[in-house]
Amino acid sequence: MTEEKKRKLIIIAGPTATGKSAAAVELAKRIGGEVISADSMQVYRGMDIGSAKVTKEEMQGVPHHLIDVLEPEEAFNITLFQKMATDAAEEIYSRGHVPIICGGTGFYIQSVLYGIEFTREETDLAYRAGLEELPADKLYEMLKAVDPASCEAIHANNRKRVIRALEFYHETGQPISAHNAQERAREAAFDARFFVLTDERSVLYERIDARVDRMVEAGLVDEVKRLKERGIARTAVSMQGLGYKEIYDYLSGEYSLEEAVKRIKQGSRHYAKRQLTWFKRERDTIWLDRSTFKDAEREIVDRMEEEYLNDKRSI
């Protein structure tokens, strides 16, 4: 596909707590866009506080996609996201609007931007069962031995992704990090403007801590309690998100609320660091550092709009 025939796509990415959602709404209002959420938790109904889900008021009438589309009992993964996001983009194009993918899950964004193919060999169920019996630290040691590059992007406690990476190596003999690098080298399927929002590290961490405190004050414990009482298991995909698993463990008596909040803040800071590492590997990104703007909320969107209008092609 030639560059002239590619359709316009805007991506607003970056670590947590950098104002992505607000920027996406304002930009959408200016250019006639609709937002596609690239978040693994905002897809779930009834999981609003811990996912920092954009509210109806915050949407300001801008259509949002992939929000409140699944029940917490349902599984959500990269292949499902890719299909749902691609379908949503087609709907948006059919209305003559511009899709704006907004979120911090880099692999999700990448799957749409490059049209990554996820065809895999038959899963070795016996191998998977063996992995699932091992503790997280042992799994991480195994991954570090065969694919140290993946350990930079995957947290040791993210059993699902660690197991997936080990399965991929077991099935193909290739590190999944090398596979992902090959996929990133593919030509983009869209004429994309890929914005990455960031901030000074200390300021970003302060914003993260403050947001966690607001979540707790807004009723995060009650939200997770309702999900637990509904019968959602600790092992459910929906319960693996930051904030949910820690509060679930607090409600199960694993540790105190104070310790749970501490773990959420620490985990969120580590996640932000991994997000920055991921996006630094991406090509053709436009980094927008909040600390370099006098009025970040307004001026960042001004810059996005300028980048879009200066090279406007048919959608």
87-142: per-residue pLDDT in tens? 999 999 999 999 999 998 888 999 999 988 765 555 677 788 888 888 888 999 99
CATH superfamily assigned to domain 3-116+188-218+275-309: P-loop containing nucleotide triphosphate hydrolases (3.40.50.300)
List the chain domain ranges: 3-116+188-218+275-309, 125-180
**3 state SS of 123:** coil
The pLDDT, as a whole number, for residue 119 is: 57
Q: Tell me the per-residue pLDDT of 264-290, one tens digit each, with 9 for 90 and over.
A: 999 999 999 989 998 998 889 999 999
Angle between helices 159-172 and 136-146 (to 10 degrees): 40
**3 state SS of 300:** helix
Out of 2-16, 86-100, 212-226, 264-278, which region has the weakest mean confidence (pLDDT)?
Answer: 2-16
Total residues found in the chain within this entry: 315
Q: State the fold for domain 125-180.
A: Histone, subunit A (1.10.20)
Q: Is the pLDDT of residue 64 over 80?
A: yes
Count of beta carbons in the 10 Å neighbourhood of residue 80: 14
Give the confidence band of 8 by pLDDT, cuts at 50, 70, 90: very high
Give the confidence band of 314 by pLDDT, cuts at 50, 70, 90: very low
Alpha-carbon span 103 to 123, nearest angstrom: 30
Count of beta carbons in the 10 Å neighbourhood of residue 13: 26
Alpha-carbon span 65 to 10, nearest angstrom: 14
Q: Tell me the per-residue pLDDT of 145-180, one tens digit each, with 9 for 90 and over.
A: 999 988 887 878 788 888 888 988 888 888 888 877
H/E element holding 228?
Answer: helix 220-229
- Listed residue (209, 241, 225) closest to 53, CA to CA: 241
Q: Look up tokens 């917490």; give the residue.
A: 72
Q: Give pTM, 2 decimals.
A: 0.82
**Mean pLDDT to the nearest integer, 283-304:** 95
The pLDDT, as a whole number, for residue 1 is: 43
Alpha-carbon span 307 to 86, nearest angstrom: 23
